[in-house]
Amino acid sequence: MEGLKIAVIGGGSNYTPELLEGFIKRADELPVREIYLVDIEDGKEKLDIVGNLAKRMVEKSGLDIDVKLTLDRREAIKDANFVSTQFRVGGLEARSRDERIPLKYEVLGQETTGAGGFAKAMRTIPVIMDICKDIEELAPDAWLINFTNPAGLITEAILKHTNVKTIGLCNVPIGMVKMVAKILEVDSDRVKMDFVGLNHLVWGKCAYLDGKDVTMKVIDKLADGAELTMKNIPDLNWDKDLLESLKMIPCPYHRYYYMTDDLVADEIEAANSDKGTRAEQVMGIEKQLFEVYDDPELDIKPPQLEQRGGAYYSDAAVSLISAIYNDKKEVHTVNVRNNGTIKGLPDDVSIEVNALVDSTGAHPITVGKLPPTIYGLIQSVKAYEELSVEAGVSGDYGLSLQALALHPLIPSVKVAKGLLDEIIEQNRDYLPQFSNKA
Ligand code: G6P
């Protein structure tokens, strides 16, 4: 059959209209025939609401794309050309627990960074392994575009433990390009950036405007308080002296490492007030969004979606899919196997870096040695991620403890152990790999 089959796992997500908008916008370069939105029984109501909006969006576009809603993941994956993953195991309730457990120990409670990210990874790894088994069996040539967080760690689990062709993706790099363009007051297609690091720990090594290096100009503006953050991260100002001496552009998530005390205090205050943690705020936003989506007159992505942190998600995903399909040999910032790109890190770990994308995949552009200032943090977070991948696959208590005890945001083994025991206890239903082991 002519045209592409796309399977979206976690199709009931409120981000689906974003993705649909991307496919509609790029219809001239991507001949999509079918989009399967797949979810689990518990997500059926959301799948129906967002799926019907997706159908209305396609109808409005006049394109011949068949949007199918299903709870049968295997049917969705069978013979797909591209599978994208945007699911959240345990939903926002689990995210809220991930944020609240660490705060009891006065350490960061965040969905991807620190102990919260570890808990999310432990819930996600068994599910992604199952999905990959389905892909290996039913669509062995498909590309898996993984958005599921913690995206770098999950991509590494797929790369190390399955035969699926995968590329991990995040909206932070594309978001940074857009924000730098805004800071410079220019169109974002005139700005290019060299990125290097890990997912949610990526540095803008250089920023270019029309090919000219403007890194220091951007840093000066940031040091003077220009905004560079996502909707889910408080926009605390950077230390001017640090930025000017580093000469690189940090991603919004670096704040969790460089401004830990202020951010933990901020989180504790929010958690103890009516505001609640980010998951609890997002629950309110989601409720409103689904009410808006349910309006049978609505046939576009509504602007209210901009309250979520995932802006430009569709641009990143659909342009990457198009670069693979059309063999574009175009630069994208993606999560891929290191393979010597960053000197010193193991070959088989995932990194977030610029890569040349063609029909055979993403080929990272060599970076070489990194300065100790940024390499030190990357190395220790990467070691935490490597241990977490193995812990998530095996359910090994000792490895899990090693991972948490090593994490730069966790101060001691005592705290690591308290966190781990509580994470296992509160996630029992989602951690089959840990059963009878703790
Ligand atoms: C950022 C991150 C995403 C994350 C999102 C959370 O954009 O890059 O990985 O999913 O924020 O946003 P939310 O609205 O759920 O807090």
Tell me the pLDDT tens digit for each residue of 79-109.
999 999 999 999 999 999 999 999 999 999 9
DSSP 110: -
As a whole number of angstroms, the distance between CA 390 and CA 413 comes to 19
84 lines ligand 1 (CB under 6 A): no
DSSP 250: P
Same domain, residue pair 429 and 299: no
Same domain, residue pair 16 and 125: yes
Tell me the pLDDT tens digit for each residue of 12-47.
999 999 999 999 999 999 999 999 999 999 999 999
Same domain, residue pair 290 and 425: no
**Where a domain ends, among 294, 317, 340?**
317
Closest CA to 256 of 239, 273, 236, 270: 236
Is position 204 within any domain? no
How many angstroms does the Cα of residue 112 sit away from the middle of ligand 1? 9
Residue located nearest, by CA, to atom 3 of ligand 1: 310
How many angstroms does the Cα of residue 29 sit away from the middle of ligand 1? 28
Residue located nearest, by CA, to atom 11 of ligand 1: 309
Domain containing residue 110: CATH number? 3.40.50.720
145 lines ligand 1 (CB under 6 A): no
Same domain, residue pair 73 and 152: yes
Closest CA to 352 of 188, 106, 155: 155
Is position 328 within any domain? no
Please answer whether residues 57 and 300 qualify as being in contact, where contact means their C-beta atoms are separated by less than 8 angstroms. yes
Burial 58-90 (b: 16+ CB within 10 A, else e): beebeeebebbbbbebeebbbebbbbbbbbbbb
Model pLDDT, residue 212: 98
One-letter amino acid for residue 404 of the chain? L
With tokens 């999950």, the residue in question is 154
46 lines ligand 1 (CB under 6 A): no
Active site residues: 253
By residue count, the chain amounts to: 438
308 lines ligand 1 (CB under 6 A): yes
Same domain, residue pair 151 and 294: yes
**Where a domain ends, among 317, 337, 372?**
317
CA terminus-to-terminus distance, the chain = 50
Please answer whether residues 184 and 219 qualify as being in contact, where contact means their C-beta atoms are separated by less than 8 angstroms. no
Model pLDDT, residue 33: 97
Is position 36 within any domain? yes
Sequence-separated (6 or more) residues with CB below 8 Å from residue 86: 8, 9, 10, 11, 13, 15, 16, 19, 147, 148
As a whole number of angstroms, the distance between CA 118 and CA 100 comes to 13
Same domain, residue pair 56 and 142: yes
- Residue 233 tokens, joined: 């991260």
232 lines ligand 1 (CB under 6 A): yes
Closest CA to 106 of 403, 400, 419, 397: 419
**Where a domain ends, among 301, 317, 333?**
317
Number of H helices, E strands in the chain: 16, 12
Same domain, residue pair 100 and 27: yes
Same domain, residue pair 304 and 412: no
Same domain, residue pair 298 and 388: no
171 lines ligand 1 (CB under 6 A): yes
Model pLDDT, residue 436: 65
Same domain, residue pair 386 and 290: no
Give the nearest ligand 1 atom to 313 CA. 7
Is position 351 within any domain? no
Q: What is the DSSP string of 31-49?
A: -EEEEEEE--GGGHHHHHH
β-bridge mates for residue 209, sequence order: 191, 212
Same domain, residue pair 427 and 287: no
Burial of 12 (0-12, 13-18, 19+ CB in 10 A): buried
Model pLDDT, residue 122: 98
DSSP 147: -
407 lines ligand 1 (CB under 6 A): no
Tell me the pLDDT tens digit for each residue of 228-255.
888 899 989 999 999 999 999 999 999 9
Is position 154 within any domain? yes
Residue located nearest, by CA, to atom 13 of ligand 1: 309
Please answer whether residues 50 and 13 qualify as being in contact, where contact means their C-beta atoms are separated by less than 8 angstroms. yes
Residue among 96, 232, 233, 251 to mutate when testing ligand 1 (max atoms within 8 A of CB): 232
Please answer whether residues 162 and 173 qualify as being in contact, where contact means their C-beta atoms are separated by less than 8 angstroms. no
Is position 74 within any domain? yes
Is position 239 within any domain? no
**CB neighbourhood size of 407 (10 A):** 25
Task: Using 50 as the pLDDT threshold, list the residues of the chain that sit under it.
Answer: 438
Domain range for 112 is: 4-168+282-317
Residue located nearest, by CA, to atom 1 of ligand 1: 309
As a whole number of angstroms, the distance between CA 104 and CA 272 comes to 11
The overall pTM is greater than 0.85: yes
Structural domains in the chain (count) = 2
Same domain, residue pair 14 and 155: yes
**CB neighbourhood size of 293 (10 A):** 24
Main-chain phi, psi angles of 73, to 5 degrees: -60, -40
